[in-house]
Structure 1
């Protein structure tokens, strides 16, 4: 499967932080093949959405479906200096 076949869909996605702060409520998204940009104000949930899509976070409800491969570069990267 090529990167041109990649498809991401989020259906009725909801997520809240442990303190009860809602980030997403009943959120739907469909992304087809190719590059896609995600823009928004600071703190609006862009990184949280990407972490949900990457499987780093679990939604409170809803589904994330990925067909193909998705590349993900975390916002913060820790360099493992002990590795050679």
Structure 2
């Protein structure tokens, strides 16, 4: 159950970073920060939820990380398209 909560927290944390990342030029310094800045928080979540660093937790946390980034990017694309439509 702790793995589920940690993955959900990771997913929610990464959504704004994915939203921000889509606005920056690819491979720029700010784009790089938008990807790597949440990593210490993910490590903190692992510690707070008592996950440690067991091997079975890695795929779940990596999927939560990247899907949060992706979902944030999709939200930005949706709102940009909606803004241009009006």
- TM-score clears 0.5: no
- Shorter chain as normaliser: what TM range? under 0.3
**When the two structures are superposed, what TM-score results if normalisation uses the length of structure 2?**
0.26
**When the two structures are superposed, what TM-score results if normalisation uses the length of structure 1?**
0.27
